[in-house]
Chain A
Amino acid sequence: MRDQILTKRPVAILEKIEESLEKLNDKMEVMIEIQKGSGGDAAKSSMVLPDSTLDVMTLLSMPDHLRKTAMTICRCGRATAEEIAGSTSRARAVESAYLNQLVIMGYLKKERKGRKAYFFIDPEGRR
């Protein structure tokens, strides 16, 4: 095991560590959102929706800050937090938090490709 690690180039190891840290960061953001949600705000009520389909009626019932993010992803289909931030003029970290919240609520799916995380609408909705 030790020999295996030593044979890898140090840069590759650092990249691996960075990727793990990013994954950890995402998970922490999700946990923060869950904590916020348990505070009893509007996000909580939409969290318990039995049918998590991101249709226009859902968009209408969302709190304003999430609607903006959700509408943007509806328009572009698939995007990173940075791309969403580009069109909403809000900070990347803010959009990342909102996107992760939408993933928890079941409206979006998240996929990692290398160091980037893509958010998209699952056309089948949540089963």
Chain B
Amino acid sequence: MSNVSKIIAVHSYKGGTGKTLLSVNLAATFAKAGKKVCVVDLDFRAPSLFAILKAENVEFWFNDYLNNAVDIGKVLLNLSGRLSGNGKFYAALANPATEAIRDMSSKDRKWEMRALGKLLALKETLLASKKFDYLFLDTSPGLQYSSINAIVAADYVIVATTSDRSDVDGTKRMLVELYNLFEKKTGLVLNKVLDSSATAKKTEMGARVKAAYQVPLLGIVPCFCEVLRAEGNFIFAQDKPDHPFTKILTEMARKIESNEVD
């Protein structure tokens, strides 16, 4: 596909690999550059976007949209005021209430099939009608229905992985047994890399990643204590514009925008 990816799913094999951190900060990076973006929380088992974005007075959730209760417009939360510049930053949140989590985990296959249709419809409603530039689908780790739906609906999938042995093995298997079958354009982000010289040897790392995972490398994110210290309390790319983490995300955004992801 030569078209620029507009719907980007962020997925991983294991939890805690930095999916939400990447989704929110990549979206913020695009918004800072004047784009209209939306982050969608599809991790219905452990919703986290709600807390990270400190959302208040949420009337409708993305759950409601998938349940066919409301239009997508009612779910969108405009958080553009949180960012500098004239970009637009929206979020569609997963309901963190225990009752909602229980409800989402008991859906049948027909519901999941319709949910895929609702995700695919976002291309028309958000991208075409509401003129969004990018949608980021923050998924649940592993082979979950909601995550696979997101992968099928996406134009491009970012897989976040760490150097943890169980994560490496699982990610490799997932790429072969899941992504290959759907013929998805995929990019790998190595997160929490301890060897600080790894980022300097980008070309070498890129070749190693390509050999090991058979997918192109989108970026390497070293383990930054400052990012951990922030405890998910602010949008890093917005609050620390000169931090190396922000610069790495800016480079990822550039690659996505110029379609240098193959």
Q: Which A residues lie at the B interface, using CB under 8 A?
A: 51, 53-60, 64, 67-68, 71, 74-75, 77, 121, 123-125
Q: Are B110 and A56 in contact (CB under 8 A)?
A: no
Q: Are B117 and A55 in contact (CB under 8 A)?
A: no
Dominant secondary structure of chain B at its interface with chain A:
helix
Q: A60-B148, A67-B181, A71-B182 are in contact. Are A53 and B117 (CB under 8 A)?
A: no
Q: Are A77 and B117 in contact (CB under 8 A)?
A: yes
Q: Which B residues lie at the A interface, using CB under 8 A?
A: 109-110, 112-114, 116-117, 120, 145, 148-149, 152, 178, 181-183
A67: chain B residues at CB < 8 Å are: 181-182
Q: A74-B152, A124-B110 are in contact. Are A55 and B181 (CB under 8 A)?
A: no
How many A-B residue pairs lie within 8 Å, measured between CB atoms?
Answer: 50
Q: Are B181 and A60 in contact (CB under 8 A)?
A: yes
Dominant secondary structure of chain A at its interface with chain B:
helix
Task: Give, as a whole number of angstroms, the nearest-CB distance from A125 to chain B.
Answer: 5
CA–CA, A29 and B109, complex, Å? 29
CA–CA, A124 and B117, complex, Å? 12
By beta carbon, the residue of chain B nearest A60 is B181
Q: Are A56 and B148 in contact (CB under 8 A)?
A: yes
A75: chain B residues at CB < 8 Å are: 120
CA–CA, A62 and B117, complex, Å? 19
CA–CA, A64 and B177, complex, Å? 12
Q: Are B145 and A123 in contact (CB under 8 A)?
A: no
**Which of A51, A55, A68, A125 contacts B116, CB < 8 Å?**
A55
